[in-house]
């Protein structure tokens, strides 16, 4: 089994790291806050003193961080991965960041003889916990094939989608589809409720037809229960949609639906809902329609 460094033990990283331990890998972990590190040490991991210290002890480093600046700081900054890396180290960045940032960090890695793949995930906390994430990977295909078994300890699927940056392009496409899907579902269920229909029965009736989707199956029951405990926070979806709009502007690809959903999410965040699950987007529609979609 591989000796793996894992940096970033948040809502997604912590269960992902635990699944690597369960699969028999030796882990060295590091995180800004100590609590998750202690939890992983109790599960069998070793604590690293810094990102550089982690990198010095392993052959593979996995990073799972909030956004592009965090990845740049942890990998290329003082005391970062590259300060402790030896030539041949593989960095698997599983954060969701801007594709251009992934390319930039990859170039800095290459200058030190370090190989990087960008491998963002989809599925949120529930799939991180049960190890069934969908993983989309950019970078050298031969390296992907080498580390694919490790990825499949954290996910149900791992697909090579192209060169470095392609993983995050794919993730942005995923987040566009998910965000617009949540908005469409929220709009539809608010309409149904306001017009006098039972939203639970509406979900039941449409889930087997063309309107059925993974989003409907996963988010509608939570909405109907008024449960907005985060599986994937609104503030993180805002970050992803901002990265999508930035990338769209760079390549002259219009994203009008994404822009609309982004503004609704920003309004909710401004009202204190930034830590709600992204299914909580329905609260924007409920406020506009003066109705609650519950059963």
CA-closest candidate to residue 136, choices 109, 105, 99: 99
Identified catalytic residue from 171, 194, 239, 266: 171
CB 263 within 8 A of CB 257: no
> Where are the extended beta strands (E) located within the chain?
3-7, 26-30, 46-47, 60-63, 90-93, 115-118, 121-122, 133-138, 155-162
CB 295 within 8 A of CB 199: yes
Stretch (H or E) spanning 258: helix 256-268
Q: Give the Å distances, CA to CA, from 260 to 19, 23, 166, 176, 239.
A: 37, 42, 25, 11, 14
- The number of residues in the chain equals 295
Q: What is the DSSP letter of 233?
A: B
Looking at the DSSP bridge assignments, the partners of residue 277 are: 233
**Is residue 171 flagged as an active site residue?**
yes
Looking at the DSSP bridge assignments, the partners of residue 9 are: none
Pairing of strands 26-30, 46-47: parallel
Residues 6+ apart with CB under 8 A from 61: 4, 5, 6, 7, 54, 55, 81, 85, 89, 90, 91, 92
Q: What residues are annotated to the active site?
A: 171
């Amino acid at each position: 089994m591989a000796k793996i460094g894992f940096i970033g033990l948040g809502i997604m990283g912590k269960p992902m790291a635990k699944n690597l331990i369960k699969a028999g890998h030796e882990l060295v972990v590091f995180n800004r806050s100590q609590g998750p590190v202690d939890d992983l040490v109790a599960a069998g991991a070793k604590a690293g003193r810094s990102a550089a210290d982690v990198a010095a002890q392993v052959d593979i480093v996995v990073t799972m961080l909030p956004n592009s600046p965090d990845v740049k700081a942890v990998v290329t900054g003082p005391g970062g991965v590259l300060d402790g890396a030896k030539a041949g180290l593989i960095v698997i960045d599983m954060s969701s960041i801007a594709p251009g940032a992934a390319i930039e960090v990859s170039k800095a890695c290459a200058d030190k003889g370090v190989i990087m793949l960008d491998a963002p995930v989809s599925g949120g906390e529930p799939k991180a916990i049960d190890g069934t994430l969908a993983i989309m990977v950019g970078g050298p295909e031969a390296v992907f094939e080498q580390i694919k078994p490790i990825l499949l300890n954290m996910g149900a699927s791992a697909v090579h989608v192209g060169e470095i940056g392609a993983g995050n392009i794919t993730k942005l496409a995923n987040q566009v589809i998910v965000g617009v899907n949540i908005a469409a579902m929220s709009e539809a269920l608010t309409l149904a409720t306001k017009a006098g229909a039972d939203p639970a029965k509406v979900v039941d009736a449409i889930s087997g037809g063309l309107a059925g989707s993974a989003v409907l199956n996963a988010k509608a029951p939570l909405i109907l229960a008024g449960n907005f405990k985060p599986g994937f926070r609104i503030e993180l979806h805002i970050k992803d949609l901002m990265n999508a709009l930035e990338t769209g502007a760079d390549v002259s690809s219009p994203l009008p639906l994404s822009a609309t959903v982004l503004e609704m999410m920003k309004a909710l965040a401004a009202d204190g809902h930034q830590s709600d699950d992204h299914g909580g987007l329905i609260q924007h529609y409920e406020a506009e329609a003066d109705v609650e979609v519950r059963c």
